[in-house]
Amino acid sequence: MIFKKEHLLLQKAVRKFAEEEVLPYAAEREKEGAISRDLMEKLARYKYTSPIVPKEYGGAGADYTSYVIIMEEISKKCASTGTFTTAAASLVSSPLLNFGTEEQKQKYLTRITSGEAIGAFGLTEPGAGSDAGGQTTTAVLDGDSYILNGRKTFITNAPIADFAIVIAVTERGKGVKGTSAFIVDMNLEGVSCGAHEDKMGIRATETSDLIFENVRVPKENILGKEGQGFKIAMHTLDTGRIGVAAQALGVAQGAMDEAVKYSKERVQFGKSLSKFQDIQFKLANMETKICAVRALLYKTAEMKEAGMSISKESAMCKYMAAEVANEVAYDALQIHGGYGFIKDYPIERIYRDARIMSIYEGTSQVQQMVIAGSLLK
């Protein structure tokens, strides 16, 4: 990938930010189970959480290449911060930008870009994970409001969100065409959160269920048109997968950096690990995989910017990047040996963080289904 001058300047700025503001506190934030408000405000101030949102709504008005650069550099130092960043940049901003009314954009999107508000995206349910069409949360029209009932699970930012974009069934018997999307303010009566999930990785992100019990959502808070819920969710995930793929790329690069550093420092049998051919070949394989992911990802970002359909390509990016992140993290930890198994070294955290990449925003198997479906249609 040959960057333009503005991309090189952005990469330098984000890399410096990640080194100074993200990495030094990554372990501490993981222990606390939360990202500090100070960091959230800085991410918003520098437009890292709104790179592709137009300037008229308070975003950076940048391109998708910039988005990928931001996600890779931040996630290289802390995957949890990467998760918070991409949740704001795509899962929340994208549906508002692409399907929201002007009033909704001014009321909600501008508060995301300014850092005044935190959003969440509610699609997954206890019985509807990979089967995103199996929604049971309902929204029944009653006068000037919809009555919302149901439960969403594994929702990033749920405990700290000011509002959530929620997919619910508005017409039974029509399958995915009977779902709609709603903007739900978290201060409405009947909205609550489940227990904070004690996760294996990305532990600094706050995750819980969202529970709706006879919540009266104003009719004007429907996002798009009734019956467009599944369409909005899938469109959002297409964009979101670029962000998660960039996050996985950052995790892989972070693991690679730690492996190279340790192999030069660790001495066994009278010489550094980096002098052993087995280690050299392992590092070569890791680097090749990372570079292949990077090439595919930046090509897809350029396609998205050009207005091309990227459903297949974004799935390929998400699938390949997630698998490579796990493979590289595994090999990097193996190079560390026993020291990689203790928390004194960053690779222990990176290894745990990598695992979610092939699960959330569509498992690797779902990505394979999307890719194969595009070939066989």
Closest to 59 measured CA to CA, from 39, 72, 44: 44
CB 336 within 8 A of CB 240: no
The tally of CA atoms less than 13 A away on the side-chain side of residue 89 is 36
Helices (H) and strands (E) in the chain, counts: 13, 10
CB 84 within 8 A of CB 157: yes
Rounded distance between C-alpha atoms, residue 91 and residue 95, angstroms: 7
Q: Which two tokens stand for residue 228?
A: 């467009």
Residue with tokens 């091309």: 308
Catalytic residue among 72, 206, 323, 361: 361
Provide the sign of the torsion angle of the four alpha carbons 258, 261, 263, 268, taken in this order.
negative
3-state secondary structure of 227: coil
Strands 191-193 and 207-218 come out as antiparallel
> What letters, b where the CB count within 10 A reaches 16 and e where it falls short, cover 262-294?
bbeeeeeeeeebbeeeebeebbeebbebbeebb
Supply the DSSP symbol for 23.
G
3-state secondary structure of 358: helix
Active site residue 327: no
Tally of CB atoms within 10 A around 25: 18
> What letters, b where the CB count within 10 A reaches 16 and e where it falls short, cover 318-355?
bbbbbbbbbbbbebbbebbeeebeeeebbbbbbbbbbb
Q: Which two tokens stand for residue 39?
A: 């960091």
Provide the sign of the torsion angle of the four alpha carbons 169, 173, 175, 176, taken in this order.
negative
Q: Which two tokens stand for residue 303?
A: 């396609």
Q: Which amino acids are annotated catalytic?
A: 361
